[in-house]
Amino acid sequence: MTLRTVEFGLDAVQDAALSAGSGEELFEQVSSRLRRIIPFDGATWFATVPSTVLATLPVRVENIEDGHCDTFWEREHQVEDVLLFRDLARTRSGVGTLHQETAGAPERSARAREFLHPQGYGDELRGVFRTGSSTWGVVGLLREQKRPRFTQRDTRVLSNLGSAIADGLRRLAARRADAAVEDGALGTLLYDTDGRMLSRDAAASHWLGELVGHEWGGTTTESGVAPRQS
């Protein structure tokens, strides 16, 4: 594949991310165009809550057996492994491959043993979609065992696309949030065990403003400490 072809493919993916009318359309179009420059056989695409990297809608799953979908996030949050999305979100590049992270010994990974290999996949390329320190989505691209492993070129391509895809997801999330507020939707607040607010959506910010005054200055993903009741 020539450099010109790769550059054309990058432009096509970025255009799809920024012009999509819905999150589902964004993932569908980005997946279709990305496959032309980074071939893959299966994939998991998730939008995330920016402050927590917890999955939210939209979701796109490609060529994953039903039984494995049920345990995907349980494994992600309860099993120590390489390239967990929450860890990847804290790295500089925001991308990595299973073979690279395990020094060519993927069997060291529980995800490889229990999720990838039983489905015939041999390597995984993971990436996070960030703007600044906020992660708006994540992806795992999978290749069958009979195929070549993901390369450093593949990781560079995915890394270069991260901010454009994040911008698209952020734009669509803001549109959904505005619509929810207009419809009088319930808001969602997420707290840790110490009563510290980890995140809140736009509807929650709106209703908190109605309760305590709009000068309180809350934003959709700003963290704060919730007042304790005596």
Query: What residues contact residue 39 under an 8 Å CB cut-off, 6+ apart?
Result: 143, 147
If one counts every other C-beta atom within 10 angstroms of the C-beta of residue 183, the result is 8
β partners of residue 225? 196
Provide the residue count of the chain.
230
Interatomic CA distance for residues 207 and 74, integer angstroms: 32
Q: What is the pLDDT of residues 209-221, one digit of tens each?
A: 667 655 544 444 3
The pLDDT-based confidence of 178 (bands split at 50, 70, 90) is low
Q: Which helix (H) or strand (E) holds 58?
A: strand 55-62
- Among 13-22, 144-153, 173-182, name the one with the lowest average pLDDT: 173-182
Domains in the chain, ordered, with CATH?
38-169 (3.30.450.40), 184-221 (no CATH)
132 vs 143, residue with greater confidence: 143
Q: Whole-number mean pLDDT of the chain?
A: 85
Q: What is the pLDDT of residues 44-96, one digit of tens each?
A: 999 998 878 988 888 999 999 988 887 888 889 899 999 999 999 999 999 99
Q: Taking residues 118-130, report their average pLDDT.
A: 97
Whose tokens are 């593949």? That residue is 154
pLDDT score of 212: 66
Interatomic CA distance for residues 91 and 168, integer angstroms: 21
Query: What residues contact residue 8 under an 8 Å CB cut-off, 6+ apart?
Result: none
pTM for this one?
0.80
Q: Where are the alpha helices (DSSP H) in 149-226?
A: 152-182, 202-212
Q: Which residues of 76-95 are buried (b: 16+ CB within 10 A; e: fewer)?
A: beeeebbbbbeebbeeeebb
The pLDDT-based confidence of 4 (bands split at 50, 70, 90) is low
CA dist list (Å): 215 to 178, 199, 205, 206, 228: 19, 19, 11, 11, 20
